[in-house]
Amino acid sequence: MIKTVQARAFAKINVGLRVFGKRPDGFHEIRTVYQTVALADRLQVSIAPRQKGISLESNHRELSAGPENLVYRAADLWQRATGYKGGIRLWLEKKIPMGAGLGGGSSDAATTLMSLERLSGNRLAFLARIELAAKLGSDVPLFLLGGRVLGCGRGEEIYPLTDLPARHCLIAFPGFSVSTAEAYAALGLRLTELKEDRKIKFLGKRSPFPLQAWGPAENDFEWFVFARWPELARVKRQLIRAGAETASLTGSGSALYAVYESAQQLNRAASQIPADWKVFKVRTLPRATYLRRLYV
């Protein structure tokens, strides 16, 4: 008997992202606050106990349908971790721009893991699920929680934060991607010096950015990205002038976001975005809302 679930894989923004020195494993130490937003890919996940293998189809021609795809890899990793012997069928409808810093591929992978658990009833322990997600990518684990999440380590060490009230969120995508590897390499000697214990205090002066308010979102990648693409810096300034509570590059780019208290402010800001950019008008998703809306 084939079982199927329809799911949403939501995007994220980074409300602050600080990059420190390289770790022994070759990754950079980071601090970030992830926030899920209501821009989503769609996934259809099916299990067929009497069939074999994994198959993936997508509406995006540029996406691989094989082991290079994070969704395929997530299904394969889950299958090996749980010992599931049946077939897995996956359909992915992409809506989140790729290479934008919005975590679309990571969210797709996390949602695949959660959907397979839901369908099979074979639920891993929470820490085992986190470890499995971290093998797929640094920001995959955050999507197992949703809402507002502190990310440490290489981003995979996650701590749920108290949610802020839902806000209107404008996401502006210029239509090109930024290489994350190139962005990290470019930081070079400009990396923030890590002067404190890596056990960051959630409340207090040792935080590298505000954790209990939207506040200014300091993203260490902005100096490199804005120097190469000055139009991004110009649009960010416009978003702030339109009344944003916070505005920033997300991840290493190339998308910008701005958070507004009112839809009127958001619409005014959206009217100033270049006509050839993609604009998404969404809401931030607190944890309870995120979890409730995962499945269609």
Q: Which of 41, 108, 139, 220 is catalytic?
A: 139
Please choose, from the candidates 100, 250, 247, the residue with its C-alpha nearest in 3D space to the C-alpha of residue 178. 100
Token pair recorded at residue 54: 């994994």
- Contact between 70 and 109 under an 8 Å Cβ cutoff? The reply is yes
Residue labelled with tokens 């994994």: 54
How many Cα atoms are found within 13 Å in the side-chain-facing hemisphere of 10? 28
- Contact between 173 and 249 under an 8 Å Cβ cutoff? The reply is no
- Taking the CA atoms of residue 73, residue 76, residue 77 and residue 78 in that order, the dihedral angle to the nearest 10 degrees is 120
Please choose, from the candidates 47, 50, 37, the residue with its C-alpha nearest in 3D space to the C-alpha of residue 8. 37
CA end-to-end span of the chain: 21
Q: Is 12 a catalytic residue?
A: yes
Token pair recorded at residue 133: 């997600």
Q: Which of 12, 41, 108, 220 is catalytic?
A: 12
Q: Is 139 a catalytic residue?
A: yes
Contacts of 60-66 spanning 24+ positions with Cβ under 8 A: 60/92, 60/94, 60/98, 62/98, 63/92, 63/94
- Contact between 249 and 160 under an 8 Å Cβ cutoff? The reply is no
Q: Which residues are catalytic?
A: 12, 139
